[in-house]
Amino acid sequence: MEMVIAVNPEPASKLGYLLRVPLDGGLVFRTSGTWPRTKALYCHPVPIDEWPDDPEVVERVAVRSCARRGAAIDLVLDRGRENRSQIVYTTARGREVVFWQSPRTRKQARPNVRTPTARAAGIAELPIVVDSHERYAYRFADQQVGLTKRALPCGDYGVFLEDRLVASVERKSVPDLVSSLTNGTLRYALAELAALPRAAIVVEDRYSAIFALERVRPATVADGLAELQVRWPNVPIVFCDNRALAEQWTYRYLAAAYVWAEAENTAIARIAAPRPVDAPAAESGDIAESASGAGEGAPPAPSTAEVRAWARAQGLPVPDRGRLRPDIWQAWSSAHPE
């Protein structure tokens, strides 16, 4: 018996290899790699007649054992290293999928830890707001949380104090992180998060996952993340092993930020007078005039969320999140002369 890996003869396919295992007369899968070394590989089952007559063989290894056990196929190869793996049939988002995993990738996907269920910071019920645009949102099922869903000015999960957003967490998978980094949107997201008293980005994977990327140079991603952290050091990018641990970290970070905002007088002062990151730049003369005429009784600058709410009340079109146009800020200033 042999396990055979050949090049997929269809050049347009994203799954560049064919995997053939000696079970039930031969099973053939399209897959993206020759072995699940750093992550489980997605496999697409195809009929046996799709195996080419003259395959371009990449690897051919003798098989010691190949047996079906429930919803998985245990595959043991006759070699010293990288010899044990499983082909697992499962469901994801309502459809059947197949993954090829090794003991190493299985351990990474399910680290041997149990997440705690104790209350974070002693809060009986932490009020967390989930952004209405967030797909597949965390449910915090094992935590003492009161969830509300509505549009957030930035981030995916936030906590409010006196109707002001005091902390926010942006959730990212590695593909989403890399995509937003390469197209530039991550830079704008960090700039918006940096305007909050507390904010962070949580990634549902290990940092090592960026070095296993195939369609972008890992060094480019690593350098880009490092540059963003130097530019915005107050918005940490935190890598967690998986989605469950990222959810746990998000819950405890928001709880700590909520307690901090309640207890610290400096935090309350900062929340009371936030500086909008997307207000139109003032002329140098305006800055001097503002500095000379500012007094202790001067009203605080409005936050982006306040201006957004005012604009909607006036019937002005504004996006649910992100920066506001300069004409919106000008309209606010005209309606609220000092």
Residue range 52-90, pLDDT digits in tens:
999 999 999 999 999 998 888 999 999 988 899 999 998
77 and 129 together in one domain = no
* 201 in a structural domain: yes
pLDDT at 111: 58
Give per-residue pLDDT as tens, 95-105. 888 999 998 77
CB within 8 Å of 273: residues ≥ 6 apart? 300, 301
CA atoms within 13 A on the CB side of 72: 12
Closest by Cα among 87, 85, 83, 91 to 72: 87
pLDDT band at 118 (very low <50, low <70, confident <90, very high): confident
In this model, does residue 294 exceed pLDDT 50? Answer: no
In this model, does residue 189 exceed pLDDT 70? Answer: yes
Neighbours of 303 (CB within 10 A): 20
CB within 8 Å of 263: residues ≥ 6 apart? none
* 293 in a structural domain: no
In this model, does residue 269 exceed pLDDT 80? Answer: no
104 and 26 together in one domain = yes
pLDDT at 295: 45
* 208 in a structural domain: yes
pLDDT band at 94 (very low <50, low <70, confident <90, very high): confident
- Cα(271)–Cα(269) distance, integer angstroms: 5
| Total domains, the chain | 3
What SS3 class is residue 159? Answer: strand
262-266, 276-280, 296-300, 303-307: segment of lowest average pLDDT? 276-280
* 221 in a structural domain: yes
- Cα(22)–Cα(32) distance, integer angstroms: 19
* 287 in a structural domain: no
Neighbours of 338 (CB within 10 A): 8
pLDDT at 288: 38
Give per-residue pLDDT as tens, 157-187. 999 988 889 999 999 999 899 999 999 999 9
CATH number, domain of 134, equals: 3.40.50.10130
Neighbours of 110 (CB within 10 A): 11
Range of 12's domain? 2-109
99: β partners: 42, 88
The mean pLDDT value of the chain amounts to 84
Closest by Cα among 230, 229, 249 to 240: 249
2-16, 33-47, 278-292: segment of lowest average pLDDT? 278-292
* 288 in a structural domain: no
More confident position, 253 or 269:
253
What SS3 class is residue 325? Answer: coil
pLDDT band at 109 (very low <50, low <70, confident <90, very high): low
pTM of the model: 0.52
In this model, does residue 270 exceed pLDDT 80? Answer: no
* 244 in a structural domain: yes
pLDDT at 320: 73
In this model, does residue 33 exceed pLDDT 70? Answer: yes
pLDDT at 153: 93
* 190 in a structural domain: yes
pLDDT at 281: 47
11 and 142 together in one domain = no
- Which of 103-117, 153-167, 278-292, 299-313 is the most confident on average? 153-167
